[in-house]
Amino acid sequence: MSPMRLPLYVVDAFAERPFTGNPAAVVPLDAWLPDATLQAMAAEHNVSETAFLVREGAGWRLRWFTPTTEVALCGHATLASAFVLATELGAAPPFAFATRSGTLGVAREGGMFVLDFPADPPHPVAHPPEGLVAALGAEPLEVWKARDWICLFDDAATVEALAPDHAAIAALPDTETAPDGSCVIATARGPARTIATAPGGGGVDVVSRYFAAKVGIAEDPVTGAAHTQLVPFWAARLDRARLACRQASKRGGLLDCTLDGERVRMGGRAVLYARGEILLPG
């Protein structure tokens, strides 16, 4: 029996050149395959997320899988999906994606794709979960909670120097707000005191890292879902709606973010790394 042939694209999202930002695999489908097959494909690709999308009415249904689980929200793979639709498949933005987190919009503004996601404002936590400080290897000034644990540090250098125990992070307790596992965000104010005109344009307001062993990723390179929490947190502290954000992973990535009421707009660029074909057994 002939194998099923599916298109595959690998995109570096929140990136201006290859080997930076966060890689995502994007697989357009005519119809949904069994969940076990989707998960096996994501494990085979072994990048932070594989995005699967199926045409649905005037938009698309979008799902995201890490190598170990399906997740409820993913920014970089949404950006990558919009990039593939616009640059490889001839679709015209703006796009509307139906997801587990509601309808997510993506527009194209100049060279950037701008995500429109629900904001997830955090609240302060008086008693962080046991083991959090030891897992990070440094004590934060404050701990906050939205979907994930947000650990505030006094400067960007401390965030960049963290060498966490990922197994200990994976062992932290789950919460009702994150049924597939709370991850850990480390953050600090960036070195700039004034807003950059765009990421890379002269300053950074917010620095962060994202530790996601709970969902099979030791450290996610650039995380849109983290910024749905970080942007309302920092917008209140810095008293400004627009923020230039840098995720300080080894690959690194830049996001141009704006708090717009109960929504977070996240702008970024993307680069096509590879296009190919998946051969599934018939």
Residue 126 Ramachandran class (φ > 0 left, ψ -120 to 50 alpha, else beta): alpha
Q: Evaluate whether 94 touches 86 at the Cβ level (below 8 Å).
A: no
The C-alpha atoms of residue 31 and residue 161 are separated, in whole angstroms, by 45
274 pairs with which residues across the strands?
A: 10
d(CA 76, CA 225): 8
How far apart CA 222 and CA 199 sit, in angstroms, is 13
List the catalytic residues: 49
* Rg of the chain on CA atoms, in Å: 18
The number of beta carbons lying within 10 Å of the beta carbon of residue 211 is: 26
* Contact present, 166 and 136 (Cβ < 8 Å): no
- The span from the CA of 69 to the CA of 43, in Å, is 9
- Name, in order, each residue with C-beta under 8 angstroms of 215's C-beta and a sequence gap of 6 or more: 66, 68, 69, 71, 180, 181, 183
